[in-house]
Amino acid sequence: MLTSKLEDLIWKGKAFPKTFCVGGTQKHVINIQPDRFIIITDILYFPFFACQLSDSSYIGADQIETWIRTNHISTQLTILGEKNFNRFQFRNNIYFNPTKNDFSQFLAIPESPTHVDTYLIHTTGVSFSFSFGTPLTPTNDFTLAESVAYSSPADYGKIGDTNYLATTQINQNDSDNSFSNWVSRPARIHVASTNELAYPVDSGTNIESSYRQYGNQHPIVQVSYIEIMGQPNNIGL
């Protein structure tokens, strides 16, 4: 998101609008000069169909089902650096166009991209990493009495309410590694934490090269950012 302050720096010749295309592989890095920093103002995510194919870009109905059930339909984009660590979750919007009358063969066609306004400051370098989502382990428990909830039917309620229902606040992933991304609640150490929807980056979520052979199979994100002379602590941002 371009702010009036950034626009003013651009007109004064102290900042420069730039773009960077991320995709094709699992990871990219933008290196930043020592006397400059960048602010990522928006990202444009293009959905893709990553699947292990034999010798063509056509797929069978069984491959579509496997792709969805293993949660490859979800993609995690991790943007990290010295100043920020951010995750974005996308659901790939794919149209499966049948190429045979018996519906035994399809062509996966990515649909419209997703635009996200951001304001992410990075100083020494910024990494962009793609990974698959993974299936979630079904879990149910009750919200603790010390937590935040309204009684059912306004909300799921919590222990001690007149009406409360079992729900899930912690996502458990079916993955190679045990993984949790806790969002702590300061000064409430006896309250069970709720975690962000996040997937580990490991061999189970890796978008391997055999999945990225064709034009519709690799991730693409168009990154727009502003490169600014100086450092964020001395230019009044």
Average pLDDT over residues 58-72: 87
**Based on the domain organization, do 109 and 74 belong to the same domain?**
yes
**Based on the domain organization, do 17 and 96 belong to the same domain?**
yes
**Based on the domain organization, do 140 and 187 belong to the same domain?**
yes
**Based on the domain organization, do 193 and 142 belong to the same domain?**
yes
**Based on the domain organization, do 130 and 142 belong to the same domain?**
no
pLDDT of residue 41: 95
The answer to whether residue 222 is domain-embedded is: yes
The answer to whether residue 235 is domain-embedded is: no
**Based on the domain organization, do 147 and 43 belong to the same domain?**
no
What does the alpha-carbon distance between residue 196 and residue 194 come to, in Å, rounded to a whole number? 7
**Based on the domain organization, do 37 and 81 belong to the same domain?**
yes
Q: Which domain holds residue 165?
A: 136-198
pLDDT of residue 84: 84
What are the backbone angles phi and psi of residue 148, rounded to the nearest 5°? Answer: -105, 120
The answer to whether 52 and 70 have CB atoms below 8 angstroms apart is: no
92-96, 156-160, 166-170: range with lowest mean pLDDT: 166-170
Asked whether the predicted pLDDT for residue 47 surpasses 70, the reply is yes
The answer to whether residue 98 is domain-embedded is: yes
Asked whether the predicted pLDDT for residue 100 surpasses 50, the reply is yes
Whole-model pTM: value is: 0.84
Asked whether the predicted pLDDT for residue 79 surpasses 90, the reply is yes
Which pLDDT band, with edges at 50, 70 and 90, does 60 fall under? Answer: confident
Asked whether the predicted pLDDT for residue 6 surpasses 90, the reply is no
Asked whether the predicted pLDDT for residue 77 surpasses 90, the reply is yes
Domain count, the chain: 2
The answer to whether residue 236 is domain-embedded is: no
**Based on the domain organization, do 104 and 219 belong to the same domain?**
yes
Mean pLDDT of the chain: 84
pLDDT of residue 104: 80
**Based on the domain organization, do 48 and 160 belong to the same domain?**
no
**Based on the domain organization, do 13 and 104 belong to the same domain?**
yes
Which pLDDT band, with edges at 50, 70 and 90, does 51 fall under? Answer: confident
pLDDT of residue 178: 52
Which pLDDT band, with edges at 50, 70 and 90, does 187 fall under? Answer: very low
Strand partners, 80: 85, 127
- Beta strands (DSSP E) in the chain are 15-23, 27-31, 36-46, 58-60, 74-81, 85-91, 94-98, 105-110, 114-122, 125-132, 136-137, 172-173, 182-183, 194-195, 220-229
Q: Is beta strand 27-31 parallel, antiparallel or unpaired with respect to 36-46?
A: unpaired
**Based on the domain organization, do 9 and 44 belong to the same domain?**
yes
**C-alpha separations of 195 from 14, 145, 168, 199, 220 in Å:** 40, 18, 10, 11, 27
**Based on the domain organization, do 106 and 16 belong to the same domain?**
yes
